Structures are given as C-alpha cells and as structure tokens.
Amino acid sequence: MTQVETDKLNELNAFMEQAVQNEHSDSYLIAVLHKVQQLYGYLPREVMDTVADKMQIPTAHIWGVATFYHYFNLSPIGKHTVSVCLGTACYVKGAEKVLDTVKKELKITVGQTTEDRLFTLQEARCLGACGIAPVMMIDDKIYGELDAKKTVDIINQYRKAEKQNAEKQS
Ligand code: FES
C-alpha cells in the first residue's frame, strides 16, 4: 500500500471511529459514504468491505444505500467529466452526432470511463446554453456550436494538456 493510500485509509478510519461511537451509527452511514467518495472519488469495493466491518453493517445494506443515491459513484470516474447535452435545442442541432463522435473518440459509452481514467462520459438535459447548441460541458466549461471536428479538437486539447502535465512531473 502506498503512503497516499495509507493516509486515506487512516483518515477514513478516524472518521468512522466517531460514527461507531454513536448509538445510531446507521445514520452516519451516508456521511461515511460521502467521506469515502471525497477521498477516493468513488466507492471502491474493498473500502466498502472495510466500512461494513468497522461499522458492523451488512455489506448488502451499504450497497443498497449507495445505489439509492445517484450522488455516489460506484466505479472510478475520470479526471474530466464530459457531459453531452441532449436537451431539445441541442438535439435539434445535432447533439446525437456530437455524442456519437465523443463515444467513438473515447471508445466508451455513456456512464463509462476511459481506460486511462482521463474522461468519464455523461448525458445532460439542457446545460442552459441553448443559444450555442449543440453543447457539451467538460468539468465546468461549456463548449458550443459543436460539429464532429470541433468536438475531437477539444478532446485532444485535454489530452495534450494531460501529456504536458505528465512531462512536467517526470
Ligand atoms: S438544450 Fe442543450 S443547452 Fe439547452
């Protein structure tokens, strides 16, 4: 286990100590799940087993709670979230083609993350930028008036930035 992983687990354990000391520990479960997601970006299976153990709550119950709330990510998410708008204005202006382009370029479908963990693809319903439809959002940045070429160019900008970052760090 790396130092970072050990630190995360220690922080989570400390957080859970407080939860189990409380008589109504079940009501702390959601707070603990939030903490796990804050630390790991999603709910890793092995960490959830630790939570079940520590809090003495059946794993099935924990997964039941986790899947009930859409907020929780059950699988790893990418560094960047790409949301393609399929709202009416975007749909009319060719959003489906934009979505197909992104899927093809990233080789994933909606709800999935690329192998390099750089992108997660999502659908959205109106991002409030109908005037520049069709639109996609990457993290919190909106890109409009998209066609296939522009869409690929934007994705490549992120790949390039990532590559430059990696080079800087090595
Ligand atoms: S429908 Fe896409 S931004 Fe409004």
> Which CATH number is 129's domain given?
3.40.30.10
Q: Is there a single domain that holds both residue 85 and residue 64? A: no
**Would the CB of 130 count as within 6 Å of ligand 1?**
yes
What is the residue range of 34's domain? 3-68
Q: Is there a single domain that holds both residue 21 and residue 53? A: yes
Q: Is there a single domain that holds both residue 63 and residue 86? A: no
Q: Is there a single domain that holds both residue 58 and residue 84? A: no
Q: Is there a single domain that holds both residue 20 and residue 52? A: yes
Domain-embedded: residue 98: yes
For 117-128, the pLDDT digits (tens) are 999 999 999 999
**Would the CB of 135 count as within 6 Å of ligand 1?**
yes
Atom nearest to 95 CA in ligand 1: 2
Q: What is the pTM of this model?
A: 0.70
Q: Is there a single domain that holds both residue 25 and residue 87? A: no
Q: Is there a single domain that holds both residue 109 and residue 153? A: yes
Q: Is there a single domain that holds both residue 93 and residue 154? A: yes
Domain-embedded: residue 73: no
**Would the CB of 133 count as within 6 Å of ligand 1?**
yes
**Would the CB of 89 count as within 6 Å of ligand 1?**
yes
For 111-168, the pLDDT digits (tens) are 899 999 999 999 999 999 999 999 999 999 999 999 999 999 999 999 999 999 888 8
Query: What does the H/E/C string look like for the chain?
Result: CCHHHHHHHHHHHHHHHHHHHCCCHHHHHHHHHHHHHHHHCCCCHHHHHHHHHHHCCCHHHHHHHHHHCCCCCCCCCCCEEEEEECCHHHHHCCHHHHHHHHHHHHCCCCCCECCCCCEEEEEECCCCCHHHCCCEEECCEEECCCCHHHHHHHHHHHHHHHHHHHHHHC
**Would the CB of 90 count as within 6 Å of ligand 1?**
yes
Q: Is there a single domain that holds both residue 125 and residue 63? A: no
Atom nearest to 85 CA in ligand 1: 2
- Average pLDDT of the chain is 91
Domain-embedded: residue 75: no
Number of domains in the chain: 2
**Would the CB of 129 count as within 6 Å of ligand 1?**
yes
